[in-house]
Chain A
């Protein structure tokens, strides 16, 4: 008898409550799926070699005491600091080149129409869709002709092909959304194009500029194919390739050091992301929606 009132009241409210419970359950499962690999990498990097080699204990937790030995070894007795330095040099230069090229071009394409500017804008978008794996072999020849093979300057040369199209594309979108009254006002005040770009467009479109910078940084930091194909000497290697190829050799239980290396190498983009998540997301979503 008491069950009747419950049966007859399947209200919107209880519908919503079930949707909420289902949503949290779903999110819990997804978060475990997305975070268990980095968690396991962290756990492994903190274990002693003896514990990593041991098969009986639970691999998912540190049972035998936490050690920072792998990190210490990595930073003092391996080429890892060299890789880090090389990656930083390449990334900083590539980001700078990318931003100069794409901001200039985006300003021009968004505001100053000229013969062929529409075609060039479409070309930029299509270039953005060209993956690194399509042209790495002819670029290998070009890098060779220029005498850049086996130096990280080859990466400074080729990375902009991956970063500039996307950055230009999203900057066209951001610049295009600035009201024209603003540049007319600046023009009447006697501003030239450089002043207009530096004093009006860049400050107003700063969120877009940050998003583009983060994108260029992430791409340059993470690329794996080009350095693997063009660089062979340990002293010229960058983090991705250095970690994957040089830290694997040596004794059997290299896993602690390998995981420590992978985590340290991934830290800069992850930290940047933690602080600038909203710009990061805005950049990604505007790439496909602005135009």
Chain B
């Protein structure tokens, strides 16, 4: 019989004590602000009177707001699809070449993910500059027309998606590469014995094996992309004519710059139902994955 030290009997007290800072942080700076946002959203601009759901009905009546909703969803879906495809292609390519060279290629491709997005977007902004655009210089060299990157609605939307894909694709690359590495090599060898080609191996072994990681990564990315702020803020500030605003940049414009805090809080809160649904699905996926690993 082992004599247990007295500390073990006092376990719960110590355990709770160690979680107090974490608990205080979540309670004070996440949960409380969330409920405070709900409260703020029911006030008038001067925050002197309770107006119920007037902020929301006001938003529902504004064309700009619906444009923001449409643009946010369009932006998130298109950007995530391209990030996922590029990430998968790049991860697959890295996994194909000899192990010796993989580190080098992976290292170079992750650089966009490491530079703070607000700063790399400055570089893109300069690349898109109307008069000096170095991309347009290249296009005209090959006898193609110069593109109005940030002044035309279509191209402005295209540009922010392009920059977002550039920043975010490396994240998919890392996740997919880790998943690809976890597939046992014997599976491919067996398939080759049976005469499977590269596409068959991809569709019947690779994809089913990394399905769960694709799902989790995509859901994560939808959240981050939907909530994006930096790129649009630096590149277009929501222009031309508010057509590239996302929830976050529009909330910033309304709440901080125009000083209508309750209305800004309402715009931000619109993200919440979508985020909650995504978070719920992710949690289920992560739990299932944890259960399958255990």
Contacts and interface: CB of A to CB of B under 8 A. Distances in A.
Contact of B94 (A27, A102, A108, A228): A27
Contacts of B264: 137
Contacts of A41: 122-123, 126
Interface stretch (B52-60, B63-71, B146-154, B228-236): B228-236
Interface in A14-36: 15, 19-20, 22-24, 26-27, 30-31, 33-35
Given A137-B264, A138-B265, A224 B229 contact: yes
B211 interface: no
A262 B120 contact: yes
Given A26-B89, A34-B170, A38-B120, A60 B134 contact: yes
B40 A138 contact: yes
Given A24-B97, A133-B229, A284-B174, A229 B108 contact: no
B207 interface: no
Nearest to A225: B229
A270 interface: yes
Contacts of B256: 137, 140, 229
A131 B227 contact: yes
Contacts, number: 301
Interface string B16-28: 1011011101100
A127 B117 CA distance: 22
Interface stretch (A1-9, A72-80, A118-126, A204-212): A118-126
Majority secondary structure, B binding face: helix
Contacts of A52: 132
A179 interface: no
B68 to A, nearest CB: 13
Interface string B80-115: 000000100110111011000001011111111011
A226 B89 CA distance: 35
Interface in A177-227: 187-188, 190, 192-193, 218, 221-222, 224-225
B261 interface: yes
A164 B174 contact: no
A69 interface: no
A134 B268 contact: yes
A244 B120 CA distance: 11
A126 B278 CA distance: 10
Given A101-B22, A138-B265, A269 B114 contact: yes
A114 B16 contact: yes
Contact of B127 (A37, A229, A240): A37
Contact of A270 (B92, B115, B216): B115
A87 B62 CA distance: 39
A75 B271 CA distance: 41
Contacts of B23: 120
B197 interface: yes
B61 interface: no
20 contacts: A23-B93, A34-B109, A114-B12, A129-B278, A129-B279, A133-B227, A133-B247, A134-B275, A136-B252, A140-B261, A160-B25, A160-B29, A165-B26, A255-B132, A262-B119, A269-B116, A284-B174, A285-B178, A288-B217, A288-B220
Task: List the 3 closest A-B pairs by CB distance, nearest first.
Answer: A222-B116, A131-B227, A112-B15
Interface of A: 12, 15, 19-20, 22-24, 26-27, 30-31, 33-35, 37-38, 40-41, 44, 52, 55, 58-60, 100-102, 104-105, 107-109, 112-115, 117, 120, 122-127, 129-142, 157-158, 160-161, 164-165, 168, 187-188, 190, 192-193, 218, 221-222, 224-225, 228-229, 239-241, 243-244, 255, 258-259, 262-263, 265-266, 269-270, 273-274, 277, 280-281, 284-285, 288-291
